[in-house]
Amino acid sequence: MSMVIRGGTIVTADLTYKSDILIEDGKIAAIGQNLTGDKVVDADGCYVMPGGIDPHTHLEMPFMGTYSEDDFESGTKAAVAGGTTMVVDFCLPAPNQSLLEALQAWDNKSTKAVCDYSFHMAITWWGEQVFDEMKIVVEEKGINTFKHFMAYKGALMVDDDEMFASFSRCSELGAMPLVHAENGDVVATLQQRLLEAGNNGPEAHAYSRPVDVEGEACNRAIMIADMANVPLYIVHVSCEPAHEAIRRARANGKRVFGEPLIQHLILDESEYANADWDHAARRVMSPPFRSKLHQDGLWNGLASGSLQVVATDHCAFTTKQKRMGVGDFTKIPNGTGGLEDRMPLLWTYGVNTGRLTMNEFVAVTSTNIAKILNVYPRKGAILVGADADLVVWDPKASKTITAKHQQSAIDYNVFEGHEVTGLPRYTISRGRIAAEEGVVVGKCGDGEFVPREPYPAVNKALSKWKELTSPRKVERSGIPAGV
Ligand code: URP
Ligand code: ZN
Ligand code: ZN
Ligand code: ZN
């Protein structure tokens, strides 16, 4: 059955124009005027954009003694209700667990997905087995990105030697490393000091992770990636010291990408202070929310291109799970949700305020992500032959965000009470309507795994370190007498 999206204005990362779209067999078959099909979707007064891609989610993930509450069903239902048609989730092997075994578990969980999805693989430990399995992950499993945690000491954190080894392996395989950039040693020390001084509430979580913790790790990861001759993607960039490191690296010709989260763009550190325990704990995530100064920097980065994408890091825990940390903030599961609200919030606070153009909105919620993760133009594009992952966006529709009407399985929403104007009228996933005015009609299992190829040439960037770090003997003449 074919479908025509009629009467809308197409908005892509670089163009805005009035046209219809014909969809056949889940793909865009034609773009033009007065197209006809078996079913007509009315886009009158709406923008038609590539469906959102969320490059950073944690669905049903074992973490900090529990599992994140949203699974591939509630998580992807939240995604499509909010205009997102693909999520990229983190496969997280336990320390010493085989990457392939962990991937099997993620394959099993993801059969419930309502929209398409892909995986990043986390490197949570290092050894010959990981080195060998990385090749299989890239060449046979369709995963070209590897995540490294520089924080969560004693659990997921990898050291610099492990990170350098893994980054170098990524370089050989045509893969890209991702990092959670926070200095885990400093965080652990500050946590201890705060607890010893009697600060055990959720606000101490923020005190234990000052911006320099993030800035230092970000700089370090960038330098290590440069020495390993590999591009780098930094997740959840929250502050200026980290942003500054990315800006500087890019100005020096390094392929470094920065991903702010919708949470850091909208919410600030005042959420922790003078708030009741549950309110603050529900907002405990790493990095924590920052001051308005850092927030402005993130918005500027999106507008100017020094930051390229907006994600959610959706990792939702119920109030009951958050209360595991009563009396010890280091035991509050880290993470917040945002899958359903990312697009409407970014439109409201970005496009409606003039901070972002509509085309920039498409770039940072979809097209840039598809390009950076090497799945463009199958995703992130309105082109003939691309997957028909689209959102018909009503710029006049509005609502107040509330947990009462959300798809997420948790009992609150960190954006509760925020008014948004600009909502999906239809979310279309590979040619099927997945959500209509916030009501999810897509079914579990509609989503498919999207394999991502190794990067063709990006790892061949010149690096002054390449010669110095390759294992070869340097010939030297004129050895000083007496040595
Ligand atoms: O606090 C966070 N961000 N939780 C999710 C795991 C991670 O660090 O990305
Ligand atoms: Zn992280
Ligand atoms: Zn994350
Ligand atoms: Zn189901």
pLDDT of residue 459: 47
The number of the ligand 1 atom at minimal distance from the alpha carbon of 235 is 9
Residue 306 contacts by C-beta under 8 Å, 6 or more apart in sequence? 243, 246, 247, 250, 258, 300
CB within 8 Å of 468: residues ≥ 6 apart: none
Residue 476 has pLDDT above 90, yes or no: no
Superfamily of domain 48-462: Metal-dependent hydrolases (3.20.20.140)
Residues with CB under 6 A from ligand 1: 58, 180, 236, 285-286, 313, 315, 334-335
Q: Which of 46-50, 142-146, 250-254, 344-348 has the lowest mean pLDDT?
A: 250-254
What CA–CA distance (Å, rounded) separates 283 from 172? 39
Q: How far, in Å, from the CA of 441 to the mean position of ligand 3?
A: 28
Specify the pLDDT at position 40. 98
Q: Rounded to the nearest whole angstrom, what is the distance from the C-alpha of residue 91 to the centroid of ligand 4? A: 21
pLDDT at 475 over 80: no
Mean pLDDT of the chain: 95
pLDDT at residue 474 in the model: 63
Tokens 């780098």, residue?
Answer: 232
Question: How high is the pLDDT of residue 463?
Answer: 53
Averaged pLDDT, 294-303: 98
| Alpha carbon of 439 to ligand 3 centroid (Å) | 27
pLDDT of 473 higher than 90 = no
For ligand 1, atom 3: residue with the closest CA:
286
Q: What is the share, in percent, of the chain residues with pLDDT greater than 90? A: 93
Tens of pLDDT, residues 162-203: 999 999 999 999 999 999 999 999 999 999 999 999 999 999
Which protein residues have a CB closer than 5 Å to ligand 4 (ion)? 73, 444
Angle between helix 211-228 and 240-251 (nearest 10): 20
Pick the atom of ligand 1 nearest to 315's CA.
5
ipTM for the predicted complex comes to: 0.95
**CA of 286, closest atom in ligand 1:** 1
Using most ligand atoms within 8 A of CB, pick from 148, 286, 330, 414 the residue to mutate for ligand 1. Answer: 286
Q: Which ligand sits nearest to residue 445's alpha carbon?
A: 4
| Residue whose CB lies within 8 A of the most ligand 1 atoms, among 92, 149, 285, for a mutation test | 285
In this structure, the strands spanning 16-18 and 9-11 are: antiparallel
Residue owning the nearest CA to atom 2 of ligand 1 = 335
Q: How many CA atoms lie within 13 A of 206 on its CB side?
A: 21
Rounded CA separation 240/212 (Å): 9
Task: Locate the ligand 1 atom nearest the alpha carbon of residue 285 and give its number.
Answer: 1
Report the pLDDT averaged over residues 340-346.
Answer: 98
Q: Judge whether residue 460 has pLDDT over 90.
A: no
φ and ψ at residue 361, rounded to 5 degrees: -60, -45
Locate the ligand 1 atom nearest the alpha carbon of residue 68 and give its number: 5
Spacing, Cα 150 to ligand 2 middle (Å): 9
Distance 179 CA to ligand 3 centre (A): 10
Beta carbons within 8 Å of 405's beta carbon, 6+ residues apart: 438
Judge whether residue 275 has pLDDT over 90.
Answer: no
pLDDT, mean of residues 40-47: 98
Cβ atoms of 144 and 138 within 8 Å: the answer is: yes
Omega before 344 cis (within 30°)?
Answer: no
Ligand 3 centre from 311 Cα, in Å? Answer: 9
**Stretch 130-158: mean pLDDT:** 97
Alpha carbon nearest to ligand 1 atom 6, residue = 335
Q: Residue 483: is its pLDDT beyond 70?
A: no
Q: How confident is the model at residue 471 (pLDDT cuts 50, 70, 90)?
A: low
Q: What is the pLDDT of residues 68-118, one digit of tens each?
A: 999 999 999 999 999 999 999 999 999 899 999 999 999 999 999 999 999
Residue 466 in this model has a pLDDT that exceeds 80: no
